[in-house]
Amino acid sequence: MIHGSLGAGDAGNLRASAVVLGALYVAAAALSVRLQRKAHFEEVFANAGLLLLLSALVSGVLGSELNWGVWLAALLVAAGLVMWLSFRLGRSLYFAQGVVAVYVGLLRLLFAPFRYHVTGLPFFLAALLGLGVLVLILAAHRRMRER
């Protein structure tokens, strides 16, 4: 059933569908709160939408051979926006999805220059990036007012 639902295996089409559907769900979440129509569905719409949207962008970064830089730029913009908005709204789960997406996306940037060299440097840089993200998490937790 899952195999069939994912289509004939065209990753590009699936990715594009996930981006559009994810954006629609996020928009539905925003509208449900703004219009006070089924506002209790906000978390469901937003979490599903962010999962689809950010997963598709991360998949673009990790799966594309040629234009992964474009996907990475889109991911950084989208995830940065998600983190900023979720911080202001006090939504820790949205924030966490943004953080994970940014970290995984940046791993491609760190490992790409060392594609043909066996070296520990990208792992070291990834560990340093992880430490930076940990500091960000601690700072965000201290300042965010969760709702």
Partner 1 sequence: MRPESVTWERAAEVREAAQGWRRVEAIDAPTEQAIREAYPDPCITPSAVWRVLTAGMVTAVFLCTFGALLLAFRTDQLGLQVLMLLFAGASLVATEVLEVSPQSARRGAAGATAFWGILFLLVGFSLFLLDTVRVRYDDAIDAVLIASLLAWAVGSWRWGSPLFAVLSAISFFLFLGRFPYGRVLWGLIGAVLAGLAARWLDEASWAPSHRRGAAILVVAGILAAYAVVNTYSFDARVLEDLGRSAAARVAPSPSLFVFAALATAVVPLVVLMWGVRSRRTFVLDTGVVLLALSLVTLRHYVHLAPLWVILTLSGAALVVLALAVERALRRAPGGEIAGITADPLFADERQQRALQIVPVVAAFTAPAAAPEEKGFAGGGGRFGGGGAEEKF
Min dist. Cβ of residue 129 to partner 1 (A): 8
Which one of 3, 119, 143, 145 is in contact with partner 1 (CB under 8 A)? 119
- Other CB atoms within 10 A of residue 15 CB: 19
Task: Tokens 């629609």: give the residue.
Answer: 24
* Pick 17 or 47: Cβ nearer partner 1: 47
String of contacts with partner 1 for each residue 60-99, x by CB under 8 A:
--------------------------------xx--x--x
Q: Among residues 51 and 67, whose Cβ is nearest to partner 1?
A: 51
- CA–chain centroid gap for 80, Å, is 9
